[in-house]
Amino acid sequence: MTGGKEPIAHYMSHHSPSVKEPISEADIVKIHQLKTDIFVIYVAESCVSHRTGVERLADEAIECGLRLAIATTTSLQNVEAILSGSLGGDMLSKFEVIGAEEVVKNKKPAGDIYQYVLGELRLPDSECIVFEDSTMGFASASAAVLKPS
């Protein structure tokens, strides 16, 4: 399941954890923000690392004249934490467009985030290559009529 708040809501509704009071949508938003805050701290303290080869791949793509973008349904705050600071160095500047959860209504596996990024890049789908790391992401790219690798 993609998204930040959706898995929390899913867990609460499907696994009936023992809680004193029902969890509201506002509570879920607070829980998600706390999770995000903790993640950002972990990244800042170098407790999270890039996957091997990601920075090299980005550099080589740029050297070949390719334009880079990110289509994710995680929060922009998480993306910025990962791509800047001690973990990412100047990685943030390598991406022309970052489409994150805040810019679309429908998250992956819907193709909305990819359509958003294509619109921002002003490129037809035939001019793009997608690298995905999940089944949901693959479905999302396919829904946007892109050819995932």
Structure confidence by residue, pLDDT tens digits, 84-99: 865 556 788 999 999 9
Structure confidence by residue, pLDDT tens digits, 8-47: 777 777 786 777 787 888 988 898 889 888 988 888 887 8
CA dist 92 to 13, 86, 125, Å? 36, 12, 23
CA atoms of 107 and 115, how far apart (whole Å)? 12
